[in-house]
Amino acid sequence: MWLTVKILALLWSINFAPPSLSILLKERCQTPVDLGHRMKDGQPLFGPHKTIRGVVAGILAGGLIGWVLGFPVVIGLGCGALSMIGDLTSSLIKRRLGKASGTVVAGLDQLPEGAFPFFLLVPHANLGLVNSVALVLLFCLGAYAGSFFFKWIFVTHAIKRYKRKLRPRQRLREWRACDTAYHPLHRFFNFERAIYYHLIMRGAFHVLGLYERGRRNALNIRLNQVTLEFEDLPTAFDGYTILLLTDLHLDGLAGLYERIHALVAPLHVDLCLFGGDYRTELSGPYNKVLLRLRRLLRTIDARDGVYAVLGNHDCIEMVHLLEKRGMRFLINEAVALTRGKDHLWLVGIDDPHYYEAHDFAEAFAEVPSRVFSILLAHSPEVYDQAASYGARLYLCGHTHAGQIQLPKIGPLFTHCRAPRKFCQNHWQFGRMQGYTSAGAGVSGVPVRFGVSGEVALIQLKKVNATQIQSN
């Protein structure tokens, strides 16, 4: 029995080595084994997915893992080499069958790779025919499941409209947060947050007798009216009003939705922007959030509509469900807002903090040069890139202004890579102005100290350069 486990562990390690190295090295050292040569049928010999680095990784993994498991190094290296030969054989056959490189063919992909090493393993371990066949079948089942899991996490995309360009680590984060949202074991996949916030931090506030006070503070949301002045604002947009709602975390605190609704319902604005983070947890179901967002959208009166971006707590599957209710998401996209002959551009980027899925080149691809543009992002931490693309106003949230501030010290934590001066209220970087909202909701522990939650009402004013300098 122990020998069976060791053989399967060896073969699966060899099988997993090439894709693991591709995650680590990404686009580097991708020289194909066939060097781009093609057969008479026009198909490549093996295809671009079979690289020299992958073959080397498989062979070395065989030697190393084999040695760790107690096999002679020569046997481990030999199994790695034979397995890679089997893998190349599968690719050769698939190319002759007209299958595209990277296509998964159940059985054909696994059988040669699993069977060829037994030319060494049978005499070395004195294996019989029945045991060898059983081991090959078990290898094939495990390897197929592994390839399916790999593609599920690192290759597939949530929605057809937008294909997030995530690195493997970020795609794994997305899988944990969203693909397992309704899985009964989703808490198991995301247990560290539950332990830190819900057990340790919440418990600490209870012990200190501060929890209920902090909770009341968190419900004390204010309407914050801000005026921002620009000398190059298109004349027709002088006095333009923007309602900025960010970090709502609508399922995290009883009474929060009602408070936000009471502040928003009386307002009549030109534009409404949502800055992301609609649910409280980083994982798990979000049905309650969608229901409350839909109800909130019915109360918003915005002449030019409602636009939104995704935050680090959000799932991309939310997009089409909310767009049916009138919320337009800008995911590395831009849209022109028009007033007569004047116009400005609203640009939205995907989450730059947790998923790092922002793409300025794509977002600004259709934006003309030297026009007035507003960037909507979840976090302030890509302020310098935004300025380099000519954005005049940067609107964001994410930081909650620390959520807990101490006198003369300010926020204890901002959970943001940007300098602290960009993490709350109005700021400036070169010609670009920015506003980082404290957000309406709370994250982690549902308390606030030293800073209030907010719904921001921003008015744009056109002034001349002399007035701005005097201010």
Q: pLDDT digits over 135-183, tens only?
A: 999 999 988 887 766 665 555 555 566 767 777 778 888 878 887 777 6
Least reliable range by pLDDT among 164-168, 217-221, 342-346, 405-409: 164-168
Who has greater pLDDT, 158 or 215?
215
The full set of domain ranges for the chain reads 2-156, 199-470
What's the predicted TM-score (pTM) here? 0.71
The contacts of residue 254 (CB under 8 Å, 6+ apart) are none
- Say how far apart CA 41 and CA 95 lie, in whole Å: 9
Ordered DSSP codes for 100-125: PTT---TTTTTHHHHHTTHHHHHHHH
Q: What is the pLDDT of residues 407-428, one digit of tens each?
A: 989 998 899 999 999 999 999 9
> Would the pLDDT of 24 be above 90?
no
Indicate the burial class of 8 (C-beta count within 10 angstroms; 0-12, 13-18, 19 or more).
middle
CB of 397 within 8 A of CB of 276? Answer: yes
In CATH terms, the superfamily for domain 199-470 is: Metallo-dependent phosphatases (3.60.21.10)
Distance between CA atoms of 276 and 264, rounded to whole angstroms?
A: 17
Q: What is the dihedral of CA 138, 142, 147, 153, to 10 degrees?
A: 170
Q: How confident is the model at residue 42 (pLDDT cuts 50, 70, 90)?
A: confident
Q: Which residue has the higher pLDDT, 3 or 275?
A: 275
